[in-house]
Amino acid sequence: MANRVLAIFTTAADAMGATEELRRQGFASGSVALLSSEPIHGEIEKGLDGKRSRIGIFAIAGGVIGAMAAVGLTAVTSRSMNLVTGGMPIVAPWAFGIIVFEMTALGAIVSTLGRMVFEARLFRRALPEECDSAIADGKAVVVVDAGDEDRVGAAQEVLTRRGAEVL
């Protein structure tokens, strides 16, 4: 994005104040991001992303898919052979249930990871090295995707007034 403003704050508290002011000035929640080296809980969480996480739902869906795959693998392959072992039925729910359980968990685990990577918007454009270093040193970075040129000036004004080093 061309009109992106980056600002480094010494403390997360200052960055939070600037973020809130930017929002009050009409910047959309999705266009202002606060980056830090540790999670900040509380009010900040409400404004930064309007969407609810669907990781839990995906975990359940992944579990169901894993279970269905396990049922298919065990039941279909056993039926294709029709070989009795240990006096057990060809499709033995007690024994196959264990494999179904493990594959349910596996499906849930893999889909949790996949959905988390998607929702967290990983693999996006890298930050400039100085921002990366600043975050590592415990500073906070505010990233504003300002849209048009006028908004860039407004964002820079707020960030500078709040004590940021605007890049």
Partner 1 sequence: MAPDWFGPQTQTIGGYGKSMNSQELTFSDQPSDAAINGDLLRPVMKTGRGWIITVVVSGLVFLAGILAFAYQVSRGIGVWGLNRPVYWAFDITNFVFWIGISHAGTLISAILRVTGAEWRRPVTRCAEAITVFALMIGAMFPIVHLGKPWLFYWLAPYPNERGLWPNYRSPLLWDFFAINAYLLGSVIYLYLPLIPDLALVRARSRGLRRKIYGLLSLGWQGTQLQWARLEKAVQIMAVIIIPVAVSVHTIVSWDFAMAIQPMWHSTIFGPYFVAGAIFSGIAALILAMAIIRKVFHLEEYLRPLHFNNLGLLLLTMSMIWFYFTFAEYLTTWYGNEPSEKAIFQSKVSGPYSPMFWGMVVCCFAIPMPILAFKRLRTIAGTVIASICIVAGMWMERFLIIVPTLAHPRLSFNWGSYKPTWVEVVLLVGTFGYFVLLYAVFTKLFPIVAVWEYKEGRGPAPPGATQHKLKLPKTATATGD
Binding site for partner 1 (CB under 8 A): 11-13, 16, 33-45, 48-49, 53, 55-56, 59, 73-74, 77-78, 80-81, 83, 85-86, 88, 92, 95-96, 98-99, 101-103, 105-106, 108-110, 112-113, 115-117, 119-127, 129, 132-133, 135-138, 141, 143
Q: Of the two residues 128 and 153, which places its CB atom closer to partner 1 in the complex?
A: 128
Q: Of the two residues 45 and 157, which places its CB atom closer to partner 1 in the complex?
A: 45
CB 155 within 8 A of CB 11: no
CA distance 167 to 159: 11
Least distance to partner 1 from the beta carbon of 2, Å? 19
CA distance 148 to 166: 18
Q: Look at the chain and count its residues.
A: 167
Q: Of the two residues 56 and 153, which places its CB atom closer to partner 1 in the complex?
A: 56
CA distances from 82 to 71, 87, 89 (A): 16, 12, 9
Least distance to partner 1 from the beta carbon of 153, Å? 24
How many CB atoms neighbour CB 74 within 10 A? 20
